[in-house]
Chain A
Amino acid sequence: MSQDKLFVIAIGGTGMRCLESFTHLCAIGMFDNQEIEILTLDTDQTNGNKAKAEELVRLYSRVKTFGQTEGGTPNANTFFSAKLNLHMYWTNYSGVGRENYKNLTRITTGSIENQKINKLISNLFLAEDSVQEFNLAHGYRAQTHLGSMLMYHGIVEAARNVAKGSNVGPEEKDLEKFISKLELAGANARIFIFGSVFGGTGASSIPVIPKALQEFVKIRSGGKSDIDFTKAKFGATLLTEYFTFKKPDNNQTSSKHDSVIADSSFFPLNSQAALQFYQGDPTVKKCYKKLYHIGWPITSKKIDGDGKEKTETGGANQKNPCHITELLCACAAYDFFTTKKGMEDATSDAEYLYKAVEFKDNSFSFSFNDFVGNENKAGETFANRLGAFFSLAHISLTKNGASTGDTGIKGFIKRCEEQKLPQYSSITDEECADLNTYFKLFAYTFDKEKFIPGWLYQIRSSVAPGAFLFDSKAFADTSSELKKLDVGELFMDKKYHWPGGGMFGDSYDAFVKQLIKSGPKEAEQKVNTVKEKFLAHIYNSITESQSALIK
């Protein structure tokens, strides 16, 4: 792992879902010894995907928090090894006079001559009755030409407010905090941006964000400070279309408020146009070190059921299921944060990266190396840690019943107590509940009798019936199947299965025996709090059980 300071910026709904995958990569322990600054950037403060991603990062921090150590500390070779700091910024379109482009830019103010010129310029680029008048609170609705300008404007406006020191909103203060850390890191900053190129907010922002951040620094410091693009390392995903949704009907677009609604049938065209832009634009080439092409080359999946009456433009209801392309975006961030190649050359243009995955019998077949490559055994590390975390999730949810309302991890701590290992008894019920909640979001839960798939189950369904790392039995979704599940036999490859525990035992039995024998390596794993030691202890036991992976 690089010693650079790491920054992540998630933009728009798709960016938020990539952040969700990135947070889970942090939870499985892929970013050892790192304190990562995360900025969520959206126009739609109430967006369901945004709320979900932010709540996940907050939950992650709560899991690491112990006593006075807010958010925990960076650790190594354990679960939740990175410390995450969340910052949130949104362009505020909720006040009076800020609802749409026309009001925000005050076209109808100033001298008559000015008004005329403003109107002419606006009409030249933006359709007068639709693009200039739709409600901005739900994002830029695939109008990237408008979005780029407004996102840039929003960040510059925040910088001006911060410089003035008056009317500074909480989101602007948070943005300033993030940018101050970025400025402090200087040439050691690695900034990775998650966003799509086919939609609205992400596609609008990726080209302008480096410049906008630079402008923010300049304005706030009164021209005394700057971000040097030859030194700061920016990377981003160029994520093309991978989902579709219901086409808006005339009824829905009849009001000016909703006169523009993103239409997923244009996503391929949007993607194509965006990629042409990214290929040729000198600013993009200069600002970014690496751009990762990620796409879904087969028919995109429909994300809203047939029963939906109208297209979701945004808001709290916009909560799309997770998709494997988002995990691949998170893995692109892993590559960007760990690679040394091409990072030191200040003069080089952006490098465009892509890879392909085996496609056979109308489905994809993913192996561990497809996600993070195999340099420095990264594929094996990924397999070990994802498998270990999935097993732990099943230990909490399935073996200790957290998915059906039982105590989950608390039951596991009770088990430790019964085996005279009382060192984890100070972990409270609330802290155990946070861990259980995390595992529910990661794997699955039940709402009464209804099965609710979590992140990994959703990722798996996005490639089904293709192969996805684990045995299909690992993704059991009924109570009876889950009862039969062996937490040590999740991998497709049997050589990674845990030992069976002898004639009368099972994998779980053998695992608890292993747990009793092992313990946390405090200095090596840099674990300080009781909770960190507990997680490191379990990590070591599972890793030792998956012996074939660590040999």
Chain B
Amino acid sequence: MPDLGKYVVEVLLAYGVSVAILVGLVAVSWRQSARMRRALQAVEDRKHG
């Protein structure tokens, strides 16, 4: 861990907030993608008997 001096809170907060937003966005996008793929597959399976 580098010595962040008197700005330790600001720097860590900026990294924490940004990483949380990016990870959240990727996770939500993957989850929506997987859910939609399953839903479409179910309807197509039903259609093709």
A and B together in one complex: no
Query: B residues engaging A (CB < 8 A)?
Result: none
Query: A residues engaging B (CB < 8 A)?
Result: none
